[in-house]
């Protein structure tokens, strides 16, 4: 069994009690930058870089309030993650490396709240997160 | 009236001259130019001058690493120990550890940490001179042109409020908007591979416009300001100097005046240089210094030649009354050559200067528009009271008369012409080659309009009494007929 797990941030409050944002990105630096940004804005984050960890997090954790999925570098199995989030009623945003009509359709078909094209701006991302979650508790 | 602000040295003497003393403190300047034109070198001179003046200079490196900049600077002899460095250049780890990202644009990610480091450095060091190499990198930290402009403007203000003088290296025309923000722009270029420097804009002070020659050597950058004759003038006595040959003086109604240009023209070998050297021999007797710039003949040849006509050139050289200089072909630009001449005139008090020859000057110096430079140089020398002897080779050796080939006769106050002539020897009846001398033009006095025969003897030039039998002077080869 793989030992990888979502990385916890900000200390004492256990993951399954406070609302958190799940971030999926294959690129480690992307993940770092997004998590830093969200944490500085007062949110909790759980970062994953492969689909298995993403699925596990969805199943095991109860505190996930929304998800941000960078589909860059993943194959079509990423839509199963979307379906899983949709089933659990967790709102999510899809981030894509470029314009991709097919991906856009897939995303919206599984309930995506938005389809964003990289690079994002900080304002844009925070604005959308706030509209989905309200400001941080 | 406000006192003129004291100018701040750039560390390059010729550049300070062009800027009327140097940069104005507390302002911002852009040094722009393509790759390899010398922007970093200008920055290093600027900071080194600051270090020498105790002004706590700062080098902000955005392109090359600090270690590279220091290494390059040391090969040019810069002492960098009092110059602070802020190294913001890309770290090798960026590539090696695949730290690239695409989720946000670089302008969103890099600007804040970069700005933070700059602010910290400046607030702790309080530099009075700052050089940014190069500001073009900042463009990639800005999301768009408006943001770039705003960032640069506020960066400049941040520095200037702290009494720093700022120099930004810019990589060329893509940074057009910078020219509106800076107080001055210095442009480096190398058209036709001739390094040049130009001050495009300089708010708050005069500056000398146009292109100036520039060189980068193992000692750093040297700038040779374009010679502007009108800026140089001394009071001198408008006297006539003698050639030491009475008949020649008579031809010229006394001799040649100081502060005038004389063209000595004629075919090769006829004796033009010898005529000029007579004036110099006489001047040496007065304790005055003369200089011959030869573009064709080696110094040893000239020395031997002088000996053959009774001019003790070697002694004159030893005593400092004469300097014979062979100018290496294609070694100097006209501005660099002018600097040599200026040193002779201003530091060594040379009073007669010969350029041998005008076409040699044209062919030996590098760059464009040589005739204009020669004009400026001649005017400068005249303004400084020097008697200028311009030797002009005319082809063909015999035949139709032509004053000058290079279109410089307008420069002359005096034109002395020498020609070959055929004469039939009275005694032997054999056709011989003789020489003739005459004055064609003399602005400042009357002159003898008769053509005279002359000889070159072991004692120098000997002008013979006028011969009424000499005809066909201007239309062909002068012929002597017995009547």
Count of domains for chain B: 2
- Check if B103 contacts A (Cβ < 8 Å): yes
* Cα–chain center distance at B211: 11
Question: Domain check: are B114 and B178 in the same one?
Answer: yes
Q: Looking at CA atoms only, how far is residue B137 from chain A in angstroms?
A: 20
- Tell me which chain B residues have a C-beta less than 8 angstroms from the C-beta of A24: none
Q: B197: closest CA among B45, B394, B408?
A: B45
Whether residue B5 is contained in a domain is answered as no
* Cα–chain center distance at B384: 17
The structure tokens listed for B304 are 């031997």
Cα distance between the two ends of chain B: 80
Question: Domain check: are B174 and B294 in the same one?
Answer: no
- Check if B410 contacts A (Cβ < 8 Å): no
Question: Domain check: are B220 and B343 in the same one?
Answer: no
Question: Which residue, of B202, B226, B250, is where some domain finishes?
Answer: B226
Chain B residue nearest residue A31, CA to CA = B103
Q: Find the domain containing B117 and state its range.
A: 13-226
Whether residue B7 is contained in a domain is answered as no
Whether residue B3 is contained in a domain is answered as no
Question: Domain check: are B269 and B390 in the same one?
Answer: yes
Whether residue B119 is contained in a domain is answered as yes
Closest partner residue to A29 among B99, B105, B108, by Cβ? B99
Q: How far apart are CA B408 and CA B395, in angstroms?
A: 15
Q: A68: closest CA among A100, A87, A45?
A: A45
Chain A residue nearest residue B97, CA to CA = A29
Q: How far apart are CA B222 and CA B216, in angstroms?
A: 6
Whether residue B434 is contained in a domain is answered as yes
Question: Which residue, of B158, B192, B226, is where some domain finishes?
Answer: B226
Do B202 and B31 touch, CB atoms closer than 8 A? no
Question: Domain check: are B18 and B130 in the same one?
Answer: yes
Q: How far apart are CA B245 and CA B148, in angstroms?
A: 74
Whether residue B6 is contained in a domain is answered as no
- Tell me which chain B residues have a C-beta less than 8 angstroms from the C-beta of A97: 102
Question: Domain check: are B295 and B205 in the same one?
Answer: no
Residue B194 main-chain phi, psi, to 5 deg? -100, 115
- Tell me which chain B residues have a C-beta less than 8 angstroms from the C-beta of A33: 101, 103-104, 109
Whether residue B112 is contained in a domain is answered as yes
Name, in order, each residue with C-beta under 8 angstroms of B156's C-beta and a sequence gap of 6 or more: B28, B166, B181, B182
**Interchain CB distance below 8 Å, B103 and A33:** yes
Do B267 and B393 touch, CB atoms closer than 8 A? yes
pLDDT tens per residue, range B289-322: 999 999 999 999 999 999 999 999 999 999 999 9
**Interchain CB distance below 8 Å, B104 and A119:** yes
Q: How far apart are CA A132 and CA A135, in angstroms?
A: 9
Q: Name which of B103, B141, B147 to mutate to probe chain A: the one with the most chain A Cβ atoms within 10 A of its Cβ.
A: B103
Question: Domain check: are B55 and B18 in the same one?
Answer: yes
Q: B186: closest CA among B29, B363, B400?
A: B29
Q: What is the DSSP letter of A6?
A: P
Enter the pTM of the model: 0.77
Question: Domain check: are B263 and B210 in the same one?
Answer: no
pLDDT in 10s for each residue of chain A, 137 residues: 333 344 444 444 444 456 799 999 999 999 999 999 999 998 999 999 999 999 999 999 888 999 999 999 999 999 999 999 999 999 999 999 999 999 999 999 999 999 999 999 999 999 999 999 876 54
Written as one string, the DSSP assignment of B55-74 is --EEEEESSS-HHHHHHHHH
Helices (H), B241-357: 246-251, 272-285, 299-308, 313-319, 334-347
Question: Domain check: are B240 and B378 in the same one?
Answer: yes
Question: Domain check: are B307 and B170 in the same one?
Answer: no
Chain B residue nearest residue A121, CA to CA = B104
Closest partner residue to B101 among A30, A121, A122, by Cβ? A30
pLDDT in 10s for each residue of chain B, 483 residues: 444 568 999 999 999 999 999 999 999 999 999 888 999 999 999 999 999 999 999 999 998 899 999 999 999 999 898 999 999 987 776 666 667 888 998 888 888 888 889 999 999 999 999 999 988 888 877 878 888 888 888 899 999 899 999 999 998 766 677 778 899 999 999 877 789 999 999 998 889 888 899 999 988 999 999 999 988 999 999 999 999 999 999 989 899 999 999 999 998 889 999 999 999 999 999 999 999 999 999 999 999 999 999 999 999 999 999 999 999 999 999 999 999 999 999 999 999 999 999 989 988 998 777 888 999 999 999 999 999 999 998 876 655 556 665 667 888 999 999 988 887 777 787 888 889 998 887 787 777 777 888 999 999 999 988 776 655 555 555 666 554
Name, in order, each residue with C-beta under 8 angstroms of B36's C-beta and a sequence gap of 6 or more: none
CATH domain A20-132 topology: Rossmann fold (3.40.50)
Q: B279: closest CA among B481, B427, B460, B128?
A: B460
Closest partner residue to B101 among A33, A97, A121, by Cβ? A33
Whether residue B364 is contained in a domain is answered as yes
Written as one string, the DSSP assignment of B19-31 is TTTSBPTT-EEEE
Surface of B (63-102) touching A: CB under 8 A: 98-102
Question: Domain check: are B104 and B252 in the same one?
Answer: no
Question: Domain check: are B457 and B386 in the same one?
Answer: yes
CATH number of residue B76's parent domain: 3.40.50.300
Do B244 and B354 touch, CB atoms closer than 8 A? no
């Amino acid at each position: 069994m793989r030992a990888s797990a979502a990385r916890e941030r900000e200390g004492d409050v256990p993951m399954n009690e406070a609302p958190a944002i799940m971030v999926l990105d294959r690129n480690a630096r992307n993940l770092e930058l997004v998590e830093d940004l969200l944490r500085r804005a007062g949110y909790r984050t759980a970062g994953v870089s492969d689909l298995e960890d993403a699925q596990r997090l969805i199943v095991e954790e109860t505190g996930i309030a929304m998800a941000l999925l960078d589909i860059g570098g993943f194959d079509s199995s990423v839509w199963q993650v979307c379906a899983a989030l949709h089933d659990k009623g967790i709102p999510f945003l899809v981030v894509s490396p470029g314009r991709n009509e097919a991906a856009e359709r897939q995303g919206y078909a599984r309930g995506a709240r938005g389809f964003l094209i990289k690079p994002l701006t900080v304002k844009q991302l925070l604005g959308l997160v706030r509209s989905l979650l309200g400001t941080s508790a | 009236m406000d006192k003129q602000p004291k100018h701040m040295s750039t560390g390059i003497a010729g550049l300070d001259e062009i800027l009327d003393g140097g940069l104005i403190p507390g302002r911002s300047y852009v040094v722009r130019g393509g790759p390899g034109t010398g922007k970093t070198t200008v920055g290093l001179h600027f900071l080194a001058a600051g270090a020498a003046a105790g002004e706590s200079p700062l080098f902000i490196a955005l392109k090359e690493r600090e270690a590279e900049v220091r290494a390059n600077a040391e090969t040019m002899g810069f002492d960098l120990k009092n110059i602070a460095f802020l190294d913001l250049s890309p770290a090798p780890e960026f590539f090696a550890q695949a730290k690239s990202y695409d989720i946000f644009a670089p302008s969103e990610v890099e600007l804040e940490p970069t700005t933070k480091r700059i602010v910290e450095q400046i607030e702790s060091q309080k530099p009075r001179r700052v050089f940014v190499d190069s500001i073009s990198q900042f463009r990639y930290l800005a999301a768009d042109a408006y943001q770039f402009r705003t960032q640069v403007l506020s960066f400049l203000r941040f520095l200037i409020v702290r009494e720093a003088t700022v120099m930004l290296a810019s990589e060329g025309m893509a940074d057009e908007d910078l020219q509106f923000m800076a107080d001055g722009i210095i442009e480096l270029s190398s058209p036709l591979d001739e390094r040049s420097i130009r001050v495009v804009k300089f708010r708050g002070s005069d500056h000398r416009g146009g292109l100036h020659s520039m060189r980068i050597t193992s000692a750093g950058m040297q700038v040779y300001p374009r010679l502007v004759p009108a800026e140089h003038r001394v009071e001198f006595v408008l006297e006539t100097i003698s050639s030491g040959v009475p008949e020649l003086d008579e031809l010229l109604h006394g001799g040649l005046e100081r502060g005038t240009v004389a063209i000595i023209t004629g075919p090769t070998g006829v004796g033009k240089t010898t005529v000029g050297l007579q004036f110099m021999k006489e001047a040496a007797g007065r304790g005055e210094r003369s200089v011959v710039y030869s573009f064709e003949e080696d110094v040893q040849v000239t020395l031997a030649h002088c000996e053959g006509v009774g001019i003790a050139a070697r002694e004159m050289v030893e005593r400092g009354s004469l300097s014979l200089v062979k100018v290496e072909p294609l070694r100097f630009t006209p501005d660099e050559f002018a600097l040599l001449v200026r040193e002779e005139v201003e530091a060594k008090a040379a009073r007669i200067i010969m350029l041998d020859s005008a076409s040699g000057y044209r062919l030996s110096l590098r760059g464009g528009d040589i005739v204009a430079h020669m004009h400026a140089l001649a005017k400068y020398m005249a303004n400084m009271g020097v008697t200028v002897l311009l030797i002009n080779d005319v082809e063909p050796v015999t035949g139709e008369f032509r004053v000058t080939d290079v279109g410089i006769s307008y420069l002359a106050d005096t034109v002395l012409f020498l020609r070959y002539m055929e004469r039939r020897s009275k005694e032997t009846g054999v056709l011989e080659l003789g020489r003739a001398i005459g004055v064609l033009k003399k602005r400042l006095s009357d002159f003898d309009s008769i053509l005279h025969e002359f000889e070159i003897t072991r004692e120098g030039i000997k002008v013979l009494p006028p011969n009424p039998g000499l005809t066909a002077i201007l239309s062909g080869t002068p012929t002597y007929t017995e009547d």
